[in-house]
Amino acid sequence: LKPALIAKGISPAFESSVETICAGRQVRGEIEYIFAVNFTPEEGYSIPKHGYGVPAPVSATITLPNDGRPVYEIAEYAKVDFKKSGEKQSASISFAPGQMLAFARTSRPVGGILVGAPSVSCDLTRENESPIRIELTAALVDNNRQLLAGTAPLQITVTDPVGVARYYLYRAAEGGVCSISLPLAANDAAGKWTVAVK
């Protein structure tokens, strides 16, 4: 299969110094997601005796193309430092048994999130929905404040005027934009509400 993929110009998601690191890739607009999964079995396993083996830890060198795009780790607890060398960049990673790491590569560096001014609407003609709702829009932008048109996870916190997190949820930006509508109660605290998106 490898020669056929090379002949078609299809490159691997990444190179690994260990064969039992499984690669995955998803592209959503201007964001490419790369997944590295450790399915290394313990030493001395055999399928007739142990099935597919007990997962084991392993250290591997993962190599990505150095094409100018940044690399972001999806999980904050798993920082990985890629060292650039010519057309490639590599990192030495210690994988726990069965561990998956995920990386995002954006076409341009992420600059942050722009949140539009939230609005509260009251429509008493709604029959099957809460009549009072807060509506907000957030956009993922690059370091020049231009839209990054891709699918990205967002953490959204809506805090009421007395400092209580009324909503704490995760949504995906589609095409770089996330628009949501959330119900509020008639007896919710009046005053200044806060919306934070990251």
pLDDT at residue 118 tops 80: yes
51-107 confidence digits (pLDDT tens): 667 889 999 999 999 998 999 988 765 567 899 988 999 999 999 999 999 999 999
Collapsed DSSP state (helix, strand, coil) of residue 141: strand
The reported pLDDT for the residue numbered 6 is 84
User: SS3 sequence, 102-113?
Assistant: EEEEECCCEEEE
What is the model's pTM? 0.82
